[in-house]
Structure 1
Amino acid sequence: MKSFAIAFALLLVASTHAQQGYPTKPIRIIVPLAAGSAVDNAARIVAERMSRNMGQGIVIENKPGAAGLIGATDVAKAAPDGYTLGGFNDSIMTMVPNMTAKMPWDILKDFEPVSLVATVEWGLVVTATAPEKTAADLIASAKKAPGKIDYGSGGNGSPQHIAMALFASQAGVQMQHVPYKGATQAAVGVGAGEVLTAMQGISTVKPLIQSGKVRLLGVTTPKRMPQFPDVPTVGESGLPGFEFNSWFALMAPAGTPKGIVNRLAEEVKKALEDPEVKAKLDAQGLTPRGTSPEELGVATKGQLVKYGELIRKNGITSE
């Protein structure tokens, strides 16, 4: 018994020392999405500043596939030592789990929340030649022709699909879903007039807005965006109370020491306070957040319930 107590004490001391000296080697952040996506861009911007502040390299590793399940599974199975983290969007965290019967992990049990890093702000767009000028116009068109207005998304169960399903549900209209192979392809489809409309992350459609190929009817933020001061919110231009955005959050494998989790959350917040980081995120249509691990945990649970109800109500699947 005495030898066990001594061994336990030595283990505790070693663990505490490891946390105090953290990090002593490069950190890997697995992003289960393609390079160039909004989450990937945000991860690289924030990680670069965190790396400088922490004095250790931070490597971004893209592992897309299976709606993010492949990369997220690697994070769940990684050693809980703070050297493998996940850069997840809210689709991976709260949408996919509501559409997949056999999940390889449980977002609430197999991961430690670190921090909500940034939100990707979204907008409602139509092809440039469309007669609709506001969200109210689009709703009116959909009511006149139930099921005839088509919208594009990045695929069945994608955030674009969920966002427009939420819009249609709150507006009380029926619209036709046209899934593409990705968010960018769906945005291009709107620009080419293949589909009339889409709900998209601003960073994805900004080049098309600037080139005049799509028209931004409204933003889905609570208030107007500084980038588009003349564009109303969807809430004020046709659907009161409507809001939608997507997340970029940092997660760690379950069992990662609390001291390391808190240190990472503090480093995220510190990086987001840097003016250069803020400017870069703003240029991507991203809003810096920074939360405690506890706040991210509460938000994740809330979104799981919210999207679960929406997905079941609309019969949305990832098939």
Structure 2
Amino acid sequence: MPFTFTRLRRAILSAPMLAVLAAPATALAQASYPNKPIQVIVPLQAGSAADVGTRVVLGKVGENMGASFAIENQPGASGLVGADRIARAAPDGYTLGGITDSVLNYAVNLAARTSFDPLNDFEPVSRMANIAWVLVANNNAAKTVNELVAQAQAQPRKLDYASGGNGSPHHIAMELFSAANKVQLTHVPYKGATQATTDVAGGQVPVMFSAVSVALPMIKDGKLRALAQPADRRSSLLPDVPTFTEVGMPAFNFSTWLGLYAPKGTPKAIIDRLNAEVARALTDPGVRDRLMGLGLDPLGSTPAQLGELTRTGHARIGKVIRDAGIKAE
């Protein structure tokens, strides 16, 4: 058969050639990114550390980029519901997630199974902050952490503690504290940190571990009493609150982090652009002051560093959960 114009055209428009022709269009789309609002899903309650931290950082990122970030809270199953939605979204840079390690490392390790792979279904963009924690009680409960331990030893499982849900960091922190001090408390899981903290302040539940960002307003208002901080040194926000080591308790360090993620397959050019913009936002004095005033330590990373942090944290927390015999309720 003679080599006709039709055959020539078919050869030119073969799959490899089509890929080459499509490349400039893809590059152009990425170069103009973003050209519509970006949806950011926070898989935890409004008012949580993840929520407030994400809003502060991406508020500045949006201002610098001239972009609109629409932040939506979708709590449920300790963050697994919202994380699944992020993982299943189109990888085009227009759906992102403000996710803490409480979701990717804690909740996932406690769940019998999940609909997504925390290590392979997301593209890490950047860490945004580290989150400080504090043990708090209502005004009718123990006045010191030593008093709390004495009460718990005298009445095993009679004292309740609140958490943001099964597998949440509030849950894990208290279980680790209980194991270290050889006491037993009864877990009262809520559907989110905000309601749990509010109920502790209201007297419905005596104690809980809380992110400083959530508890701080109630501590300042006198509705919550801060008993001790699980850190190496006192927070500048709570200078009068001792560390566990300072009150003679077993050394106890506990913190979490907040990161920005995209669905797997999001173009590297978009990931790199977002990473650079987060890094830029974290150098802004106003952003840093707002985060630190909420108990969040402004701290960025490269995408690779966040990926490694996720992997090592997943393995470490999984071992802690197994060794402590912590079970989802």
Q: Would you call these one fold, judging by a TM-score over 0.5?
A: yes
**Partner residue of 1:286 out of 269, 273, 296:** 296
- 2:81 is matched with 70
- 1:34 is matched with 45
* Per-residue Cα deviation, 1:266-314 (whole angstroms, up to 9, x for no partner): 1111111111111222232222111111111111112212222233344
Q: Which amino acid aligns with 2:218?
A: L
**Partner residue of 1:104 out of 104, 109, 115:** 115
Q: By how many angstroms is 1:110 displaced?
A: 0.8
| Separation in structure 2 between the aligned mates of residue 214 and residue 5 of structure 1, nearest angstrom | 64
* Per-residue Cα deviation, 1:183-207 (whole angstroms, up to 9, x for no partner): 2333234334444321111122223
- 2:305 is matched with 295
- 1:90 is matched with 101
Question: Contact (CA 8 Å) 1:151, 1:177: kept in 2 or not?
Answer: yes
- 1:229 is matched with 239
| Separation in structure 1 between the aligned mates of residue 158 and residue 74 of structure 2, nearest angstrom | 37
Mapping of 1:243-262 within 5 angstroms?
243-262=253-272
Cα 1:184–1:20 change in 2 (3 A) is: closer
| Separation in structure 2 between the aligned mates of residue 10 and residue 170 of structure 1, nearest angstrom | 62
**Partner residue of 1:168 out of 173, 178, 181:** 178
Q: By how many angstroms is 1:76 displaced?
A: 1.3
- 1:158 is matched with 168
| Equivalent pairs, count | 318
TM-score, structure 1 length as denominator?
Answer: 0.89
| Separation in structure 1 between the aligned mates of residue 159 and residue 61 of structure 2, nearest angstrom | 45
Cα 1:17–1:281 change in 2 (3 A) is: same
Structure 1 position 177 matched with structure 2 position 187 = yes
Identity %: 47
**Partner residue of 1:22 out of 33, 37, 40:** 33
* Per-residue Cα deviation, 1:62-87 (whole angstroms, up to 9, x for no partner): 22233323322222122211111111
Identify which range, 31-40 or 261-270, moves more after superposition.
31-40
Question: Contact (CA 8 Å) 1:156, 1:316: kept in 2 or not?
Answer: no
Q: Runs of 5+ in structure 1 lacking a partner?
A: none
Q: By how many angstroms is 1:106 displaced?
A: 0.4
Question: Contact (CA 8 Å) 1:124, 1:218: kept in 2 or not?
Answer: yes
**Partner residue of 2:126 out of 101, 109, 115:** 115
The root-mean-square deviation of aligned C-alpha atoms, in Å, is: 2.3
Cα 1:111–1:181 change in 2 (3 A) is: closer
Partner of 2:183, secondary structure, is coil
| Separation in structure 2 between the aligned mates of residue 79 and residue 309 of structure 1, nearest angstrom | 33
Q: Runs of 5+ in structure 2 lacking a partner?
A: 1-10
Q: Which amino acid aligns with 1:31?
A: V
Q: By how many angstroms is 1:142 displaced?
A: 3.6
TM-score, structure 2 length as denominator?
Answer: 0.87
